[in-house]
Amino acid sequence: MDSTAAKLEPLFAFLSSSLSQLETTFYKVPGSHVVARYVKSSHQNDPGRTLLEIILFLFAVRTLLQSRTRAESPGNHFIQFTDKEVDDLVDEWTPEPLGQPLSEAEVADLAAVPVITGPNGAKPKLLGTTKPVLNFASYNFTGLAGQESIKERAIETLRKYGVGSCGPPGFYGTMDVHMDLERNIADFLGAEAAILYSQAFATISSVIPAFAKRGDIIVADRGVNFAIQKGLQISRSTIRWFDHNDLQSLEAVLESVEKDRRRRKGPLVRRFIVTEGIFEKDGAMVDLPKLIELKEKYKYRLILDESVSFGTVGRTGRGLTELYNVPATKVDMLVGSVSNTLNSAGGFCAGSKIIVDHQRINGTSFVFSAAVPALLAVSASEGINMLRDTPSILSTLQENIRAIRSILLRVDCISIPSHPASPIIHIHVRPAAPLTLTPSSSAASHSGKPSNPASIHPRDRDRSRDSHRDLRDKERERDRYGYRGSKHHREPDRDERKRRDDHREDRERSASVFRGDGGEKRDLPVEEKHEERAEKRPRYERDAEEAKEEAGPPQPAVRAETPEEGEI
Amino acid sequence: MASAASYLSAVSQADARARAHGTTPTSTPALSLSSSITSSSEDTVLDESEDYADGLSFPRNPPTSEQVFDTLHSEFGHCANDNYRYTSMHPQGAEIKPWEEKEPPYYILITTYLSYIFLICLGHMRDFLGKRFRSQFYRHLLPYDGHAPLNSDFDSFYTRRLKARIDDCFSYPVTGVPGRTIALLDRYSLDHNLTQILTGGTTRALNISSYNYLGFAQARGGVADAVEEGLRRYGVSTCGTRLEGGTSELHHTAEALVASFVGQEDALISSMGFATNSTIIPALVNKGCLVISDELNHASIRFGVRLSGANVRMFKHNDMDALEGLLREVISQGQPKTHRPWKKILIIVEGLYSMEGTMVNLLGLLQLKKKYKFYLFVDEAHSIGALGPHGRGVADYFNVSPRSIDILMGTFTKSFGAAGGYVSGNKALIDRLRLRGHGGPYAESISPPVLIQILASMASIMGVGPAALPSAPSLKHSTRSSDSTITLRQDMAEQYKYPGPAAPSQLPAWMDLPLNLRDGSQASRACGASPSTRATSHAGSRSSASSRTDTMAVFARMMRTRATPIVVVVVAYPATPLVTSRVRFCLSAAHTKEDIDLVLRACDEIGDVLDLKHHPDTADASSSRFLFRDESDGKTTAQCMVVVTAEFAATPRGVCGRIVNALDEPGASLSPSPQAAWRARLFLFVGFALMAGGLAGSVSVLVLKYLLHAYAEQYLYYGYANVAQNVALMLSAVILWISQSSGSEYEYNLSI
C-alpha cells in the first residue's frame, strides 16, 4: 500500500500544483471572482443545489440546440437504409404513367366538343357543317358578342396600347384603361371600389383566401361552383356547409356555430358566408334580402359570387342587388365575371375600398399574374356602357327565358330546378315510370348518413320529394308563365317587381310543401339524373363535370393541417 | 439587313395604312429622313411637344437611307448595328456553374436589421396609439359591431407600415404600349401614399420593367395588323369555356402551332398564365403523389400544388446534389407513415427564374431523371422565346430534345406580347389535361385577338415558308417509353431538329403577314430568331436580371427622375421573401445599344451615390466602366450586365426611414441565402442573450443590493429604474420577435 502511495506521490503533487495554478489563472481573469462567489453561494454546502443548477443548465443548452422546425424531423417513421438498399429501391420503383390515356368514351367526348368557325354568337357555324346552328351553349347572355361598336373600340385600343399588358398590375401593368374599368364596374354596381382580375375562374379562388385564413369560419352552400370550392380548399379555414339554397338550413348552421363559440368562449374569429347569386350548378337563385338579414343578425361577412347573375338579372343587369333592390354596399365582397356577360375576359371583386386595397397585395392571382390586355378591358367598359344605356337588352333576355321555359314546362319527363329569371336553365330528366316504394330501411340508412359535400343535395331531402316539388313548381310556373307568350311586352320595372313578389311567395309556399312532406320517408330506386343546360347541353359537359367532382370534391380545411401540406 | 424587299414592304405598308385611315400621307414616311413610320401622323401616343433630345421617341442618330425601320422608335428601338448580336446557347460541354448568392458585407446586414427593428417598433407604436385615439381610421383592424377585424393585425402590418412608405414605386399607372418606352401617368401624394392623385400629365420613360423580351408589344406593324383583321373577323370573345361552346378553330390552329414551336406533340392553351399552373397541376398529380419543387418556384406553382393534394418537398435552388439526396430519401422511404411507394414523382422547376434571373440546370436534371424515373415539369414562363438559338426555350438553349421533358409549360405574356399560357407534352397527356384540367370546363377560353397576337408573333419567329413541314416530327424516338433504352448521352447527341418555318397551312388562311415577318427577317433583325443570331446583346432578354437588395425604392425613384427617365421594377414582398427585395431589369429586343448604355451609366452613378456596389468584381468603378467600353463583343456586354446588376447588395444605410425590409422568419428554410441569414440570426441571438442577462442582472442587483439592505424609498428608485429599463428593452425585442413569427398564416406565399 505504502509503495503504491509513494509511487503516486509525484502525481498528486503535480495535480495539486496544476490545480492551484489553474485557480490563480482563473482568478486572474476579470470577473472570475463574481463567478466563484456565485458558485459558492449557490452551492452552500448542499450538493443537491449544485446538481439542480447543472441540470437546469443542461436543459437550457438542450432546448437551444433543439431543431425548431417540426417538418424537418422525420420522426419515428424514418428507416435507415444503406446506399445499396436505396439503389435497389430506386431501381425497383416504377411510377404510374403521368397521364392515363383516354378511354374510348372520353375520346368520343373530346371529339364531340363543338368547334366554332368564325365569330361566336347566337347562330355560329361549326367546323364541319355548313349551316349555322342555334347556340344555347355559350355565355352570350346579353348578345354583346359581335357588337360592331365594341369591336371598333377594341381596335382603337389595339392601335394605342398593343395587345399584351406585359406586366403584373404591381409592376407597370396597371394601365389607365384598367383603372377606368374598375371604376366603371364599381359605379355600375354602386360599390365603393372594384378590383380587376385577369380570369374569371381565378378570381374567387383568390378572393376567398385573401381574407379567410386558418382558424376563420366559412359557412358555404353545398351547391357552390367549382371555383369557390377551390377557394375554400386553399383558404384552410374551418368550413361548415348548409343545404343548397336553403336559408333555414343556413340559419341553423349559423346558430350552431354561434352556440359552439359561446360554449368554447373562443376568441372572435372572422366569419364568412359564401354563396352564389344564381348557382352555376342548377340555376337556383338565392334570396338576397333574407341572406343579408341573416348575415347582419349573426355578424358575418358575405362573399357573393355573381358570375352568372351579374349582367343577366335586374333592370339594367346590375345583378341580384338591383333585382332585390339591395344596396351593393351590403354585400361585403361581390365577385363577378367580366367574361360571361360583358363578353371580354377577367373577373372582378367589388366592395369597400379597404377590401379592394387589401386584395391588391394579398390576392394571389392578382399579384402574380399579368393584367388583362388593354383591348379586353376597354371592350368590357364599352359593354357596361351598353348595358347602362339599353335596358331593352335585359328585358329581351328575360322575355327569351320566359319563352323557352313556357315550352320546356310542358314537357312531362323533365323538371327544371332553375329560377324563372335564371339565364342558365338546367333540366333534370325524370323517369317516366311511376314511383315504386322501396323498403324503408334503406331510406333510413340513406338519411342517416352524413351528407356528401360533393353533392348539391341536402342529406335529408330524398328524391321523391324532390321530384314532387319539381312537379308542383312546374305546374305553378306553367300557370303563371305558360300562356303569356313572348309578344306581351311589359314594362320591365313592373314586371320585375311582380316577379320578385312571386319569388317570395314561391319560397314560402315551397317551404310549406316541404314541411307537409317532412314526416314521410320514401325512397326511390336509383334513378339516373340528367342535368342539361338548355336543350343543347351535350353529353361531354356532364362527364367533364363529373370528372371534376371526382377530381376535387370540396374538402374541409382539416386536410391542409398536416405539416407536409403546409410547407409548399 | 436592309433588303430591298423589306424596304418595299415598308413603303407599301405605310401607304396602305395611310389609305386605310382615309388620310393622305403628309409625307411618304419611308422616304423621309428617319426612314421610319415614326413620323406617322395618326400616332396618338406621342404628342409633338415631346422632347426630341432624350432619344426616347426618336433615335439620337437618325438612320441613314440604307436602314429601314417599320417600327415606332418608342415601341421598338432602331438599332442598326449588327455587332451586338450573339447567339443564346449553352456552350457545348461547358460546366454549369452552381448558383451562388453574393453576400453583402456585415455592416449592411446589421444596419438592415436595425432599420427593421426601428420601423417595426415605430409601426406598432403608431398602431397602438392610433387604435386608441383615432379609431375611426382603424376600424378594419378592430372588432367592429360583433365582426372580427377584417385584417388580422400583422397581416396588414406590412402593407400599412412598411410597404406604404414606398408605395409610389408600385402599381404605377401607365398608358400606351409597354414597349421600349412607356408613358407614365404622373401622380403625387399628399397623405404619405395613402391616396395617389393623378395630375393628368404623362412622362415618357425608358422601359426596362415590362416582360417584353422580344419586343412584340407594339401597336404598329404586321402583327398588330393581323390582330386588327382578326378582331373584325372573330370579335372580342368566344363566349364560353373550352369544353362548353367556347372553342374556336383558332384555338386548334394556335395549339398546333405552339406544339410545333416548342417541339412537343400537342399543346393546350389557357387564358391566364397563373391559371395554367394552378389548373393543370391538380390534373397531373393527386394524393399519393409527390411534387418536388424548387424553393424559388413561382406562386402559381405553389397554388396548383396545394390544390392537387399531393405531398410536397422542396430542394435548394438549382442544387442538383441536394435534389439527388432528396430523391434517394423519398424513393426509399416512400409515402409518409405508410411507406407505400409513391404513385408518381413530379419535379417542377422553372426554365428561367423570374426573381433571380438564374437558369435551371437542365442537363443535371435530365441525368437524374434517367436514374430516378421522375417526371419533369419545366415552367418556361420567362424563357420561352427568349432563350436558345431558335428561341424555343431552355431545351433549345441546352440543345437537348424537348421531348425528353415531360411537360413544358409557358406563358404568352412575356415574349409574345400577348396573354395566357400553354402546357405541352405528348398527345395522350394533353388530351387528358383537356378533359381533366380545371380550366377546360370552367375557365373562359382565351380570346381571339390574343390568340392572333400569339399566332402572328410566333409565326414571325419561326418564319413562314413553303418548306414542307416534316409530317412526322423529325424526332427518331417518338414516345418516351421507347427511348428508355437509349442512354442519355445518345439522347443528347441525337439533336432534336426543330421544324423549319411554319407552313402557311398552320396559320389561318386569311392571315397575311408582311414579307419581313414571313421570312423571319424582321424577327431575325429584331430578336435574332434566325438560327445564327438569336438574342442580340442588346436583346439580352435572358437577364431579367435580379439583384439582392433590401430596398431599392430610392434607387427606383432616382432612376425615374433622371434626365432620361428609366423605370425599373422594385420587387418586394409578396413576390419575394421579405428580406430580399430587389430591383429587376427586364431587357428587351426592343432596346437599342444606346439604351443599354444609358441604363448601365445610370446604375453606375446611382450605385455610387447609394453605395450599392459591393460585388468584389465591381468594387472599383473602373471595372464597371469597362462594361461600356467593351462594346464590340456583344457577349461580354450581356454577361457583364448580369454582373452589374448582381452587385447591388443590401444597403439601407443613409436612406433611413424610407427603407423597407423585414426579417425573415427564424427557422424558415426559404431564405435564398441561408448563411448570411444564419449569421445575422446569430448576432440577434447574442443580442437577445445579452438583454436577458441584463434583465436578470438588474433584478438580482435590485434584490441583493437594494431590497435586502432595506434602503430608504428614494434610493430604491435606482434599483427599480434599472429593472424597468431592462424590461422595456426586452419588450421591444419581444415585439420584434412576435411580429416576425406571427407571419405563419401566409407563409406559403412568402416567397416565389
Find out whether A158 and B224 touch, Cβ atoms under 8 Å.
Answer: yes
Pairwise CA distance, residues B334 & B184, whole Å: 54
Q: Are residues A310 and A416 in the same domain?
A: no
A394 pLDDT more than 60: yes
User: pLDDT tens, B345-365?
Assistant: 999 999 888 777 788 899 999
Find out whether A321 and A191 touch, Cβ atoms under 8 Å.
Answer: no
pLDDT for res B573: 66
Length of chain A: 568
Gap from A243 CA to chain B (nearest CA, Å) = 23
CB atoms within 10 A of CB B127: 17
The answer, for B316 touching chain A at a CB cutoff of 8 Å, is no
Length of chain B: 752
Looking at the domain assignment, is residue A58 inside a domain?
A: no
User: Percentage of residues in chain B with pLDDT exceeding 70?
Assistant: 66
Going by C-beta distance under 8 Å and a sequence separation of 6 or more, which residues neighbour residue A413?
A429, A430, A431, A432
- Most confident option among A353-362, A498-507, A536-545, B32-41: A353-362
* Binary contact (A96, B372; C-beta < 8 A): no
Show which of A354, A369, A391 is a domain's final residue: A391
Q: Pick the residue with more confidence: B593 or B578?
A: B593
Handedness of CA B504, B507, B510, B513 (dihedral sign): negative
Going by C-beta distance under 8 Å and a sequence separation of 6 or more, which residues neighbour residue A156?
A378
Handedness of CA A79, A84, A86, A89 (dihedral sign): negative
A509 pLDDT more than 60: no
Question: What type of residue sits at position A114?
Answer: P
pLDDT for res B502: 76
pLDDT for res A442: 39
Pairwise CA distance, residues B740 & B665, whole Å: 6
Pairwise CA distance, residues B271 & A347, whole Å: 12
The answer, for B589 touching chain A at a CB cutoff of 8 Å, is no
pLDDT for res A291: 94
- Most confident option among A411-420, A459-468, B705-714: A411-420
Q: Are residues A300 and A156 in the same domain?
A: yes
pLDDT for res B709: 76
Residue A335 β-bridge partners? A305, A349
Looking at the domain assignment, is residue A53 inside a domain?
A: no
Judged by average pLDDT, the poorest of A369-373, A556-560, B482-486, B559-563 is A556-560
User: pLDDT tens, B614-623?
Assistant: 655 443 333 3
pLDDT for res B16: 54
Contacts of A560 in chain B (CB under 8 A): 306
Chain A interface disruption, residue of B332, B376, B581, most A CBs within 10 A: B332
Judged by average pLDDT, the poorest of A128-132, A218-222, B373-377, B730-734 is B730-734
User: pLDDT tens, B98-107?
Assistant: 666 666 677 7
B527: number of CA atoms within 13 Å, CB side? 34
Which whole number is the average pLDDT over B523-531?
A: 38
Question: What type of residue sits at position A403?
Answer: A
* Residue B667 binned pLDDT confidence (cut-offs 50, 70, 90): very low
Looking at the domain assignment, is residue A37 inside a domain?
A: no
pLDDT for res A207: 94
Residue B248 main-chain phi, psi, to 5 deg: -110, 160
CA-closest candidate to residue B342, choices B354, B330, B329: B330
User: Rounded mean pLDDT of chain A?
Assistant: 76
User: Rounded mean pLDDT of chain B?
Assistant: 72
The answer, for B218 touching chain A at a CB cutoff of 8 Å, is yes
Q: Are residues A219 and A358 in the same domain?
A: yes
Q: Are residues A416 and A542 in the same domain?
A: yes
CA-closest candidate to residue B462, choices B415, B398, B409: B415
CA distances from residue A206 to A3, A301, B33 in whole angstroms, order as listed: 88, 16, 52
Helix B320-333 / helix A83-92 crossing angle, nearest 10 deg: 80
CA distances from residue B39 to A399, B6, B176 in whole angstroms, order as listed: 53, 19, 17
Mapping DSSP onto H, E and C, the string for A214-232 reads CCCEEEEECCCCHHHHHHH
A165 → closest Cβ in B143, B178, B752: B178
User: pLDDT tens, B623-657?
Assistant: 332 232 222 223 322 322 332 332 232 222 222 22
Q: Are residues A383 and A398 in the same domain?
A: no
The answer, for B239 touching chain A at a CB cutoff of 8 Å, is yes
B514 pLDDT more than 70: yes
Consecutive H or E run containing B184: strand B181-188
Going by C-beta distance under 8 Å and a sequence separation of 6 or more, which residues neighbour residue A549?
A454
The answer, for B479 touching chain A at a CB cutoff of 8 Å, is no
* Residue A522 binned pLDDT confidence (cut-offs 50, 70, 90): very low
Contacts of A234 in chain B (CB under 8 A): 303, 306-307
Q: Map residue B209 onto helix, strand or coil.
A: coil
Domain range spanning residue A164?
148-391
Burial of A352 by CB count in 10 Å (0-12 exposed, 13-18 middle, 19+ buried)? middle
* Binary contact (B224, A159; C-beta < 8 A): yes
* Binary contact (A202, B283; C-beta < 8 A): no
* Binary contact (B239, A109; C-beta < 8 A): no
Q: Are residues A215 and A258 in the same domain?
A: yes
Count: domains in chain A: 3
Q: Does the ipTM exceed 0.85?
A: no
Looking at the domain assignment, is residue A329 inside a domain?
A: yes
* Binary contact (B331, A86; C-beta < 8 A): yes
Gap from A21 CA to chain B (nearest CA, Å) = 30
Looking at the domain assignment, is residue A44 inside a domain?
A: no
Q: Map residue A393 onto helix, strand or coil.
A: helix
User: pLDDT tens, A111-164?
Assistant: 888 888 888 888 888 888 888 888 888 888 888 888 889 999 999 999 999 998
CB atoms within 10 A of CB A484: 13
A343 → closest Cβ in B156, B237, B247: B237
Q: Are residues A219 and A165 in the same domain?
A: yes
The answer, for B696 touching chain A at a CB cutoff of 8 Å, is no
Q: Map residue B58 onto helix, strand or coil.
A: coil
B532 pLDDT more than 90: no
**A29 conformational bin, left if phi > 0, alpha if psi -120 to 50, beta if neither:** beta
Residue B312 β-bridge partners? B291
Looking at the domain assignment, is residue A538 inside a domain?
A: yes
User: pLDDT tens, B201-255?
Assistant: 888 999 888 888 888 888 888 889 999 999 999 989 888 888 888 888 999 999 9
A347 pLDDT more than 90: yes
The answer, for B569 touching chain A at a CB cutoff of 8 Å, is yes
Going by C-beta distance under 8 Å and a sequence separation of 6 or more, which residues neighbour residue A468?
A513, A517
A369 → closest Cβ in B176, B273, B571: B273
B178 → closest Cβ in A86, A166, A565: A166
User: pLDDT tens, A191-201?
Assistant: 999 999 999 99
Judged by average pLDDT, the poorest of A283-287, B184-188, B557-561, B685-689 is B685-689
| Minimum Cα–Cα distance from A167: chain B residue | B210
Mapping DSSP onto H, E and C, the string for A480-497 reads HHCCCCCCCCCCHHHHHH
Looking at the domain assignment, is residue A297 inside a domain?
A: yes
Q: At A453, list the grid cell.
A: 359535400
Radius of gyration of chain A (CA): 34
Gap from B734 CA to chain A (nearest CA, Å) = 17
* Binary contact (B235, A120; C-beta < 8 A): yes
pLDDT for res A161: 92
User: Percentage of residues in chain B with pLDDT exceeding 90?
Assistant: 18
Gap from A503 CA to chain B (nearest CA, Å) = 29
Say which CATH number the domain at A307 has: 3.40.640.10
CA distances from residue A427 to A277, A408, A514, A533 in whole angstroms, order as listed: 19, 9, 21, 6
pLDDT for res B739: 61
Going by C-beta distance under 8 Å and a sequence separation of 6 or more, which residues neighbour residue B466?
B503, B504
Show which of A347, A369, A391 is a domain's final residue: A391
Contacts of B436 in chain A (CB under 8 A): 547, 551
Looking at the domain assignment, is residue A114 inside a domain?
A: yes
β-pairing, A193-197 vs B582-584, is: unpaired
Which whole number is the average pLDDT over A318-339?
A: 92
Q: Are residues A314 and A172 in the same domain?
A: yes
Interfacial B residues in 24-83 facing A (CB < 8 Å)? 44-45, 75
Q: Are residues A357 and A412 in the same domain?
A: no
* Residue B64 binned pLDDT confidence (cut-offs 50, 70, 90): low
Pairwise CA distance, residues B379 & B476, whole Å: 25
Q: Are residues A126 and A179 in the same domain?
A: no
* Residue B76 binned pLDDT confidence (cut-offs 50, 70, 90): confident
Q: Are residues A378 and A408 in the same domain?
A: no
A527 pLDDT more than 50: no
Helix B634-646 / helix B621-629 crossing angle, nearest 10 deg: 150
Q: Are residues A362 and A292 in the same domain?
A: yes
B578 pLDDT more than 70: no
Interfacial B residues in 126-155 facing A (CB < 8 Å)? 140, 143, 145-152, 155
Interfacial B residues in 295-314 facing A (CB < 8 Å)? 298-300, 302-303, 305-307, 309, 311-314
A271 pLDDT more than 60: yes
The answer, for B237 touching chain A at a CB cutoff of 8 Å, is yes
Size of interface A-B (CB pairs under 8 A): 416
The answer, for B18 touching chain A at a CB cutoff of 8 Å, is no
Pairwise CA distance, residues B464 & B167, whole Å: 46
**Per-residue DSSP letter, B491:** H
